[in-house]
C-alpha cells in the first residue's frame, strides 16, 4: 500500500513542519482552544451572509484561523488512514453529556468514526474549498449568494474539532498486531 504524504503546512502557525497528525492535534490545541476555533468558525460563517467585514479591527486573526484550520483539515484527513492501527483510549464509564459536544455516543466512544464519515461525505479538496470560500467571503464587504452547500462541511468541521479534542484529552494507543493461531 502506498503511503499517503500530504504536507499539513503547520510551519505557518506552529513555526515548524509537523508530519504526524497526532502531533499536529497537540500543536493545534496548544496554539488555540477548541472553543476559540469553534467561535471563530461560527463568527466567520455569520459574516458569510452579511455585507460586512468579519473582525474588521483585526482581520489578520481570520487569516491565522484559516492557516491553522487548513492544517487541521489536512491532519484530519490523514487520521482516516490511522484508524486501523490506532485507537483512542477508552472513554470513562460515565461522562457528562457536555463532554461529547457535537458527537453522538458512538462517535464519542470512537472519534475516528467522525473523520471517516466526514471524508466519505466530502473530499479533502471540498473542505479546503469550503474554508477558503468562507474566509474569503467573510473578509469581503459584499454579500454573496451560494449555489453549493456550506452547512454540511461546517457541521462536519465542528464534529472533527470535537473528535480531535476528545482524542487529545484521552490519548491514543497503537493497536497490537493479533498473533495468528497456527495450531489448527
CB 128 within 8 A of CB 39: no
pLDDT at 178 over 60: no
Q: What is the dihedral sign for C-alpha 142, 147, 148, 151?
A: positive
The predicted pLDDT at position 146 comes to 78
CA-to-CA distance for 139 and 162, rounded, in angstroms? 26
pLDDT at 165 over 80: yes
CA-to-CA distance for 178 and 13, rounded, in angstroms? 39
- Neighbouring C-beta atoms of residue 19, cutoff 10 Å: 13
The predicted pLDDT at position 74 comes to 97
Question: 91-130, pLDDT tens digit by residue?
Answer: 777 766 666 789 998 999 899 999 999 999 999 999 999 9
Average pLDDT over the chain, rounded to an integer: 89
Q: Place 67 in a pLDDT band, splitting at 50, 70 and 90.
A: very high
CA-to-CA distance for 57 and 47, rounded, in angstroms? 14
Q: At a CB cut-off of 8 Å and minimum separation 6, what does 12 contact? A: 67, 71
Grid cell of 154 as nine digits? 461546517
The average pLDDT across 39-57 equals 93
CB 31 within 8 A of CB 14: yes
Question: 70-85, pLDDT tens digit by residue?
Answer: 999 999 999 999 888 8
Amino acid at each position: 500500500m502506498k503511503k499517503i504524504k500530504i504536507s499539513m503546512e503547520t510551519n505557518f502557525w506552529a513555526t515548524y513542519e509537523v508530519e504526524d497528525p497526532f502531533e499536529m492535534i497537540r500543536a493545534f490545541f496548544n496554539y488555540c482552544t477548541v472553543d476559540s476555533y469553534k467561535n471563530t468558525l461560527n463568527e466567520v460563517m455569520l459574516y458569510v451572509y452579511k455585507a460586512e467585514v468579519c473582525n474588521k479591527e483585526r482581520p489578520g486573526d481570520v487569516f491565522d484561523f484559516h492557516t491553522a484550520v487548513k492544517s487541521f483539515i489536512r491532519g484530519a484527513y490523514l487520521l482516516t488512514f490511522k484508524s486501523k492501527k490506532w485507537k483512542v483510549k477508552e472513554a470513562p464509564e460515565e461522562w457528562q453529556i457536555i463532554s461529547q459536544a457535537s458527537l453522538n455516543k458512538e462517535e464519542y466512544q470512537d472519534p475516528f468514526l467522525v473523520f471517516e464519515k466526514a471524508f466519505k461525505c466530502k473530499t479533502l479538496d471540498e473542505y479546503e474549498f469550503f474554508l477558503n470560500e468562507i474566509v474569503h467571503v467573510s473578509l469581503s464587504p459584499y454579500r454573496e449568494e451560494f449555489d453549493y452547500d456550506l452547512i454540511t462541511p461546517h457541521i462536519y468541521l465542528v464534529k472533527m474539532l470535537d473528535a480531535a479534542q476528545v482524542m487529545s484529552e484521552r490519548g491514543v494507543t497503537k493497536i497490537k498486531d493479533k498473533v495468528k493461531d497456527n495450531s489448527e
